[in-house]
Amino acid sequence: MSTSVNTDNAALYDAINSANKSAATGSKTASLDSTDSAQDRFLKLLTAQLKNQDPLNPLDNAQMTSQLAQISTVDGITKLNATMQAMLGNSTDSQALQAAALIGHAVLVPGSNLMLANGQSIGGIEMAGAADKVVATIKDANGLVVRTLDLGEFDAGLSNYTWDGTTDNGTPAADGIYTVSFSARQGENSVNVTALEYAAVTSVARNSQGVTLTVGSQDMVVSLSDVKQII
């Protein structure tokens, strides 16, 4: 009889270990699709094991403690994941509400478009380092250079610049959308420059990428982290 009981205990240990491993690795089988069901199976197996243990060879306390620790760990990880998912969802909801307040406002975002209206235009740049000479090259829709601006010195970080709408030959340029590129140098060394454009926020969306904004007349989509300045 003792041999029969020990064999049953070994089978029960195998069943318990199998159940815990399946729950810990996120098995997608129908019988292991929730932590609650795994806990129920564990308790039933443990109860059966205690009922059928050999009085002369009782259940090892260390083994039982190990099994209890495993099921507790699985339960704790599942609850932690659920909490983190809830926190992430709340954070995204909060970002969406904050972003909605930007609709109708102009923001400064990465982009090479430069809008000229009533003979005036303003744009931005983000300097990777200080430069003693920054040059802007403005082109029309056909890619032809209409104005080259020597903007002078700039410190590292965000800065604004303006264009009065005149071309290189002194005539006024037509209102519309132009493109701009930059070159910058500090002595003999080049400095990286990121072109920034002002654009009005027209809509806000929440998607798999988080919260995004649609800006400008060309409906450019940017993320909240792309916004450098709000007017």
Do 226 and 199 touch, CB atoms closer than 8 A? no
Q: Which tokens belong to 230?
A: 């709000």
Q: Comparing 39 with 145, which gets the higher pLDDT?
A: 145
List, in order, residues 6 or more apart from 148 with CB less than 8 Å away: 135, 136, 137, 138, 168
Model confidence over 161-180: pLDDT tens digits?
999 999 999 999 999 999 99
- Match domain 108-199 to its CATH number in 3.20.20.100, 3.30.360.10, 2.60.40.60, 2.60.40.4070: 2.60.40.4070
CA distances from 217 to 111, 114, 200, 214 (A): 13, 12, 8, 9
Q: Is the pLDDT of residue 184 over 80?
A: yes
Query: Quick one: pLDDT band at residue 105, thresholds 50, 70, 90?
Result: confident
Could you tell me where in the chain the CATH 2.60.40.4070 domains are found?
Answer: 108-199
Count the Cβ atoms, other than its own, within 10 Å of residue 86: 10
Per-residue pLDDT, 115:
92
Cα dihedral 22→24→25→28 (10° resolution): 60
Q: Evaluate the CA torsion angle 150, 153, 158, 161 in order and state its sign.
A: negative
Count CA atoms within 13 Å of residue 115 on its CB side.
Answer: 12
Q: What percent of the chain is modeled with pLDDT above 70?
A: 61
Do 105 and 230 touch, CB atoms closer than 8 A? yes
Q: Is the pLDDT of residue 195 over 50?
A: yes
Model confidence over 61-87: pLDDT tens digits?
666 667 666 666 766 676 667 666 655
